[in-house]
Amino acid sequence: MKILVTGAKGFVGKNLCAQLNNIKSGKAKCYGNMTVSQVYEYDIDSTLEQLDSYCKEADFVFNLAGVNRPQNPEEFMQGNFDFASTLLNMLKNHGNTCSIMLSSSIQATLQGRFGDSEYGRSKKASEELFFEYAKETGAKVLVYRFPNLFGKWCRPNYNSAVATFCNNYANDLPIKVNDPNVELELLYIDDFVDEMIAALKGEEHHCEFEGVETVLRDNGRYCAVPTTYKVTLGEIVALLEEFKKQPETLLIPSISTGSFAKALYSTYLSYLPKEKVSFPLKMNVDARGSFTELVRTLDKGQVSINISKPGITKGQHWHNTKWEFFIVVAGKGLIQQRKIGTNEVLNFEVSGEKIEAVHMLPGYTHNIINLSKTESLITVMWANELLDPNKPDTYFEPVN
């Protein structure tokens, strides 16, 4: 399949083209048997001659090109409607009735706060142009009305509050929130891309609109991405505050699969300057080696790195409820556990040459011994709960 993407160098186009090229090269294997043989990338620095040749060859067109921040309002119609006319005329001239997608906006509803939107009127005009083109040529037309998009590579201080907030928090710049209760409907760029791939396969989602609200319907005139997030500016700021503090607290916020927080965290990280990409960890060092906390969570425990010098034994304690995984990643060691009140010792020889996880069982006193005389023993340790200094649940008792 040969695919034309207009507006290919913009935030949305860049993300879509990157994934299409991943499919083309065979790097993305999560889309079944779909193949991409060519991705034609058209943008403002391309020529009309190039666009014309792309329109002749394309099997599918994503029209993402458009103007959303012009110097003069009349440029909305020129940049959106006029380019759409040029694109469709080129396709008609070549008799190419391939499927074509139009990137429109929720502002095209011209409802509510969008009722006086020049941008919305230009998008609405483009929509009607595409629908007329479908009637005239029989081509399949997919008109998507998108809310605000966010994600990596989005330009800050332009037309995305999320991009601006993420960039400013990452770079220690001020932000301004006049009303934290203002709610936004947001679409994450990865969800957008997944829907575009679905559209290529003929599996797009259709919808209608009740005012500015999207209502999914199988026979709807319009198309939509089924997953969006409705969040307030205050909620976004609160999450960004957590993310910014993570290198100090080591706390990973709740970022469950499919959550807005997960998408926002990835977006925030993409704006970090070089000097914040790495950060120091506090190493607790003594004569035996070191112990360093790596990450902490509120409900899923913490991960630490333990380094034992040659011949050293660490541990010799037990817990009532806390349990752990010990995972040796370098060196050779012996893990021993003994159930409290018994004499039976469980022995586990471990090595970085064969990585495995060993449970530290509740009610068993345990240790870890570096068997080497020359090399350090490096162990990743996961505990199911954070250390509570007021109730550490840790009791000294030698295994042997």
- Averaged over 32-53, what is the pLDDT? 94
pTM, two decimal places: 0.91
Inter-residue contact 309 to 370 (CB < 8 Å):
yes
Fold of 2-146: Rossmann fold (3.40.50)
Residue that is written with structure tokens 């207009």 in the block: 6
Fold equal for 147-187+227-279 and 283-396 = no
What is the pLDDT, as a whole number, of residue 78? 59
Inter-residue contact 117 to 110 (CB < 8 Å):
yes
Which sign, positive or negative, has the C-alpha torsion 146, 150, 151, 154? positive
In whole angstroms, give the CA distance from residue 337 to residue 92.
Answer: 76
Per-residue model confidence as pLDDT tens digits over 360-397: 999 999 999 999 999 999 999 999 999 889 999 999 99
Share of the chain above pLDDT 70, in %: 97
What is the pLDDT, as a whole number, of residue 74? 58
Residue of 119, 133, 169, 271 with catalytic role:
119
- Averaged over 80-86, what is the pLDDT? 86
Residue that is written with structure tokens 């120091």 in the block: 280
- With both helix axes pointing from N to C terminus, report the angle between 233-249 and 161-170 in degrees, rounded to the nearest 10: 20
Which sign, positive or negative, has the C-alpha torsion 376, 380, 384, 388? positive
119 is catalytic: yes
Domain 283-396, architecture per CATH: Sandwich (2.60)
Instruction: List Cα–Cα distances, 390 to 113, 386, 393, in angstroms.
Output: 53, 12, 9
Fold of 147-187+227-279: Rossmann fold (3.40.50)
SS3 per-residue string spanning 302-354: EEEEEEECCCCEEEEEECCCCCEEEEEEECEEEEEEEECCCCCEEEEEEECCE
What is the pLDDT, as a whole number, of residue 185? 96
Per-residue model confidence as pLDDT tens digits over 318-351: 999 999 999 999 999 999 999 999 999 999 999 9
Does 149 score more than 90 pLDDT? yes
Inter-residue contact 231 to 182 (CB < 8 Å):
no
Residue type, 331: G
- Averaged over 185-200, what is the pLDDT? 97
What is the pLDDT, as a whole number, of residue 228? 97
> Within 10 A of 378 (CB to CB), how many other CB atoms are there?
19
> Within 10 A of 186 (CB to CB), how many other CB atoms are there?
22
Residue that is written with structure tokens 């012009």 in the block: 70
Residue that is written with structure tokens 């926002």 in the block: 264
* Domain boundaries defined on the chain: 2-146, 147-187+227-279, 283-396
SS3 86: helix
